[in-house]
Amino acid sequence: MKARVVHLITKLEMGGAQANTLHTVRRLDRSRFSVALWAGDGGVLNPEAAAIPDLSFEIIPPLAREINPVRDLQALGVLRRKLKAEIKQFAPRPVILHTHSSKAGILGRLAARLAGVPAVVHTYHGFGFNPTQPGPLRGFFIGLERLAGGMSHALIAVSRANLEEAVRLGFGPREKIRLIRSGIAVENFTPRTFDRPAKRRELGLQPDAPVVTMVACLKPQKNPLDFARLAKQVAAAVPEAEFVLAGDGELRPDLESLVRELGLFGRFHLLGWRRDIPELLWVSDLLVLTSRWEGLPRVYLEALAAGLAVVGTRVDGAAEAVREGETGYLFKPGDVAGMAERVIALLRDPGERRRLAAAGQSRVEEFDIRHLVPAQEALYEELLGP
């Protein structure tokens, strides 16, 4: 008897949580599961979700990332009604709700409790609270996660760091939280023969310039302004270096202004959203990430698979992906000077970059996304029982 699995995510924008969720709903075994995906409006990946065969995809208009008590109560009511309808429609088959991201995770799990959903799973792709928030606000979000954790039948952490943090903060007992890593399709990033000079011309890059690349949404979590500040320091020491940032978001105007202020115009390439990330990495010489917090930074894994060394921030699961001095170097968030110094050293030492890259490619297999769906299916089967 097929179980009904409903995945719920706040917004299908470009990001690791969204990519893993789309991969999951695309690959879940249709002989065992009937699959639905619900998401808030306005996601750039909504058309991609709507095109997945044998997937019931629906928009939940009131569901949004911003806190708005009126809209949030509306979203809660919509989710409760829809979940009750799912239970009625698919009876006697069981219904599983699997939530992703903080807002969908809180509202979805509360709606599931009110609707009587028999199995509720939540994945932590990082947390909605962070050290930069005022203490009372951070405490409020932690309290909400504790409440929602008590309404969950199982919890998934994408990194061991997130798992340990969830246990420490009382979101659930250790036996309730599974480690199912956020993975990537390694084969899609493994270097292959392609027209590298043509790609560089397309991007406006000089044929032989050292290229430092960052792939990230332009939002406070990713701290893209620090990438511009790093670029300024690197450019002073390596005048031929160029910088690429693939991504878009709310901080784009601030970033564009800072790039002009720092005199980087013409060598700092702000590309917006891209679907050709493997090729961007293959024409690059180094990957940088300036995030303030993460779950497990997928771009670290993508860079390692693509044969790039990494210089980034030591956030949450980062050290599980990047081994210090072996596949890259990690720094405290905000340490622009330290990161810039390491980038300069690596740009001047191609042999060291090759050593780090080779080590990264040799160990990225454990993060292959092909392990993700079987692990989730096994958890669903366990929750449903014999």
What is the reported pLDDT for 134?
87
What would the mean pLDDT of 256-275 be, rounded to a whole number? 95
DSSP string for residues in 90-156: HTTS-EEEEEESHHHHHHHHHHHHHHT-SEEEEEESS-S--TTS-HHHHHHHHHHHHHHHHT-SEEE
Segment (H or E) for 275: none
Which are the contacts of 133, defined by CB distance < 8 A and separation ≥ 6?
141
Mean pLDDT, all residues of the chain: 94
The class (CATH top level) of 3-183+368-384 is alpha beta
State the pLDDT at residue 182.
78
Tokens coding 105: 């995770």
Which pLDDT score, from 0 to 100, does residue 178 have? 95
> Per-residue pLDDT tens for 292-344?
988 788 899 999 999 999 999 998 788 888 999 999 999 999 999 999 999 99
| DSSP secondary structure code for residue 2 in this structure | P
Could you tell me if 24 and 108 are in contact, meaning their C-beta atoms sit under 8 angstroms apart? no
Fold: same for 3-183+368-384 and 186-367: yes
Q: What is the mean pLDDT of residues 180-196?
A: 90
What are 17-68's pLDDT values in tens digits?
Answer: 898 999 999 999 999 999 999 999 999 999 999 999 999 999 999 999 898 9
Taking each helix axis from N to C end, the angle separating 252-261 and 224-237, rounded to the nearest 10 degrees, works out to 20
| Confidence band for 122, pLDDT divided at 50, 70 and 90 | very high
**Residue 101, by phi and psi: left (phi above 0), alpha (psi -120 to 50) or beta?**
left
Q: State the pLDDT at residue 246.
A: 97
Amino acid identity, position 364: V
CATH of domain 186-367: 3.40.50.2000
Look at residue 381 in the predicted model and tell me its pLDDT: 95
Contact by Cβ (8 Å): 308, 286: yes
How many Å from the N-terminal Cα to the C-terminal Cα in the chain?
11
- pLDDT score of 374 more than 80: yes
> What DSSP string describes 202-265?
HHT--TT--EEEEE--SSGGG-HHHHHHHHHHHHHHSTT-EEEEEB-STTHHHHHHHHHHTT-T
Backbone angles phi, psi at 121, to 5 degrees: -125, 140
pTM, two decimals, is 0.84
Domain ranges in the chain are: 3-183+368-384, 186-367
pLDDT of residue 181: 87
- Does 180 have pLDDT greater than 90? yes
Residue 251 to residue 253: CA distance in whole angstroms: 6
